[in-house]
A and B are shown apart, each in its own frame.
Chain A
Amino acid sequence: MNVAAGHGASVRVENCGKTFADGTRALEPATLDIARGETLVLLGPSGCGKTSMLRIIAGLELPDPGGRVLFDDKDMTAVPIEQRNVGMVFQSYALFPNMSVADNIGYGLKIRGIGREERARRVAELVALTNISGLENRRIEQLSGGQRQRVALARAVAIRPGILLLDEPLTALDAALRDRLRGELNRLLRALGITTIYVTHDQSEAMELGDRIVVMQKGSIAQIGTPREIYFAPKNRFVAEFIGAANIIESPVENGHLVLPGGRQPIGGDANLAAAVAMIRPETIRVVEAEAAPLKGIIDSVSFIGDRQRMIVSGASSKPLTLDAPNTVKAQAGERIGLSIAPEAVRLLPPGS
């Protein structure tokens, strides 16, 4: 399969907002371009508008007047979902209880008038692809959550959709299964190479699956970027705190240094600011000898996690700092330590964001 070229359609969402009948604004007018074969993740807390965006792209909701949805530059705004050739995986899976697993997977093919033999062949292919061999004749209520998830995915891709839409497909599963299926799903999406739009509130899912991530907040887009961009260069405080762990520090900047209670932290350059908001990721803070360090603090607590240990250090900044130290560092609560942070690890965020 030619993965690099990508399959399916490109998507353009143009100025699409959504206001419900009762007047609540679910989505501020937003514009998005999704390339052919790309996996785009819509990420945000519940009520951020990500599901509305997905449902508009699917054709399950109409955007407010003025909004347009284009597939491969063709205006699809008024086309109902059944004519958009999209595959969709619902959070509750929406599997048909009156049909067997095989009939569920083959339903879209049956609708398209594909003959019994061809249908059986395609269903067998998908059953193998999604690792559910042996379950073909089961009824839906006899399946576990993970099996249902796979059937839903197989059913959605069986019709060879131009666009695959997934609405929190792993949320209904327990944590261990979620991690395993996330890996499987990732391999499958890469292998299929279909344009995929994936909605989730789980940032690790977004990081692993997305070519690009759209972080959404209160109905509007906070940032669009690759997982790396979003993680290392968040545009504002919301994105910084939503993705991974972040220390947000408010302090004045003097001659290129954050002026903190525990010392002066260089941030590169020689800027002077009366008030700045800075972000420092916990894994970029190193524990060093207190004497020589520019920044000093006292350990509040140490939690040994296994692959690393998480420390809370007070006194260095106005609020306690969280840092991840290697699991070999020996330190105890109450100990006075020095902190070393590379200037480029400190990222200034727009104030008031």
Chain B
Amino acid sequence: MRDRLIFTGQLIFTLLVAAFLVVPAILSISAGVTVNYFQGIRSGVTLQWVFQVWDLYAGTIGLSFVIAIATLAVTLVVGVPAAYALHVRGGRLSRIVEEIITLPLAIPGLAIALALLLTYGSFSEFRRSWLFILTGHVIFTMPFMVRSVMAVFATIDVRTLDEGAASLGASPWRRFFDVIVPNAVPGILAGSLMVVTLSLGEFNLTWMLHTPLTKTLPIGLADSYASMRLEVASAYTLIFFVMIIPLLVAMQMFADKEQAR
């Protein structure tokens, strides 16, 4: 009897906490399909706001994905070899480099953006293109890739694996792709998941770096909240959810499968 009471109490508490977190999301999403939010759901359900958002902001959504994938590509190509080099070299210098890579996490995004603007703002072609935002995203997400790959390297003896492959005749590049990368896959996946989601949702840096022609999804969202009906902004949120959740689930499933092997 007492156990039941305790269990019921815990269940209610858990549900309340969950509701506290989930209800705002549900309200926001439902607002996006309501004809008139101030009259409530009685006013009817519609997809017109979703279509309107799509008409106005399809470009921002596309650009967000382009930037997220490009950020992932850069962090993979640079971050994985960098993590390997830092791990194998070890020592004081590696620690310093690792700290420098991690530094952007501690610095406000606005400050990084300001530094980029001060330094590269005069290269107007670069400044106007989406590559400028990409640069900011890479700086911001790189530590997540490097750190999660290094965490995997710390659990396996990569140096000996590398020596083993070398003794069998493999060149440094072969060794890296045949042995090092496949054994770092769990870390690469975890890092990729972080990089893509962080890049898609990044606002601080992007807000400073964007131009009217290079708006990403979160910038568009802020824009619509500021200048449009609440229903439009909410419909925007809905689209964001629909896009990012399958992505997260897919990557999580992939990671689970890898772990189960």
Chain B 156-181 interface 0/1 with A at a Cβ cutoff of 8 Å (1 = within): 11001101111111110010001100
Tell me if A2 is interfacial: C-beta within 8 Å of chain B.
no
Q: Pick the residue among A82, A92, A96, A139 that contacts B169 (CB under 8 A).
A: A82
Residue picked from A80, A82, A86, most chain B C-beta under 10 Å: A82
User: In the complex, are the beta carbons of B167 and A87 less than 8 A apart?
Assistant: yes
Residue of A nearest to B169 (CB): A111
B160 touches A92 (CB 8 A): yes
- Once the chains are docked, how many angstroms separate the CA of A85 from the CA of B168? 8
With A107-B178, A111-B174 already in contact, the answer to whether A95 and B164 are too (CB < 8 A) is yes
Complex-state Cα separation, A108 to B171, whole angstroms:
11
Residue in chain A with minimal CB distance to B183 = A98
Interface size on A, residues (CB 8 A): 27
Within the complex, the shortest CB–CB distance from B170 to chain A, in Å, comes to 5
Residues of B within 8 A of A85 (CB): 169
| Bound form: Cα–Cα A95–B174 in Å | 16
Looking at A93, A96, A156, which has the most chain B CB atoms within 10 Å of its CB?
A96
Contact yes or no, A94 B164, CB < 8 A:
yes
Q: Residue on B with the closest CB to A108?
A: B168
**Residues in B whose Cβ lies below 8 Å from that of A96:** 161, 164-165, 178-179, 182-183
Q: Which residues of B contact A95 (CB under 8 A)?
A: 164
Q: Name A98's closest neighbour in chain B (CB-CB).
A: B182
Task: Among B160, B167, B168, B171, point to the contact of A58 (Cβ < 8 A).
Answer: B167
Task: Determine if B160 and A94 form an interchain contact, defined as CB atoms under 8 angstroms apart.
Answer: yes
Instruction: Return chain B residues, CB-CB under 8 Å to A92.
Output: 157, 160
Name the interface residues of A112-163: CB closer than 8 Å to any CB of B.
Answer: 112, 139, 155-156, 159
The 8 Å CB contact of A60, one of B163, B168, B170, is B163
Q: Are B178 and A156 in contact (CB under 8 A)?
A: no
Given A94-B164, A96-B183, the answer on whether A112 and B157 have CB atoms closer than 8 Å is no
Across the interface, which residues of B come within 8 angstroms of A93, CB to CB?
164
A351 within 8 A of B: no
**In the complex, what residue of chain A is closest to B167 when comparing beta carbons?**
A88
B128 CB to closest chain A CB, in angstroms?
A: 44
Q: For this complex, into which size category does the number of interface residues on chain B fall?
A: 20 to 34
Report the minimum CB–CB distance from A182 to chain B (whole Å).
Answer: 22
Do A82 and B179 touch across chains, with their CB atoms under 8 A apart? no
Nearest-neighbor residue (CB-CB) of A158 within chain B: B168
Known A108-B169, A112-B169: A88·B164 in contact at CB below 8 Å = yes
Q: Is the CB of B169 within 8 A of A94?
A: no
Measured between beta carbons, the chain A residues less than 8 angstroms from B261 are: 139
A84, closest chain B residue (CB)? B167
Q: Is B167 a contact partner of A81 (Cβ separation < 8 A)? A: yes
* Known interface pairs A96-B183, A107-B178; A90-B169 also in contact (CB < 8 Å): no
Which residues from A are CB-within-8-Å of B179? 96, 98
Within the assembled complex, what's the spacing in Å between the Cα atoms of A90 and B161?
A: 10
Contact B163 A94 (CB under 8 A): yes
**A94-B157, A159-B168, A159-B169 known; A81+B183 contact, CB < 8 A:** no
Judge whether A244 is part of the interface by a CB distance below 8 angstroms.
Answer: no
CB distance from B117 to the nearest CB of A (A): 43
Tell whether A183 is near chain B: CB-to-CB under 8 Å.
no
Chain A 46-80 near chain B by CB (<8 Å), digits 1 or 0:
00000000000010100000000000000000001
Whether the pair B157, A82 counts as a contact (CB closer than 8 A) is no
- Interface CB pairs A-B, < 8 A, 18: A82-B166, A82-B167, A86-B167, A87-B167, A93-B164, A94-B163, A94-B164, A96-B161, A96-B178, A96-B179, A96-B182, A97-B183, A98-B182, A98-B183, A98-B185, A107-B170, A107-B178, A111-B170
Besides A90-B163, A98-B185, 5 other A-B contacts (C-beta < 8 A): A82-B170, A85-B169, A94-B163, A96-B165, A107-B170
Residues of A within 8 A of B (CB): 58, 60, 80-83, 85-88, 90, 92-98, 107-108, 111-112, 139, 155-156, 159, 165
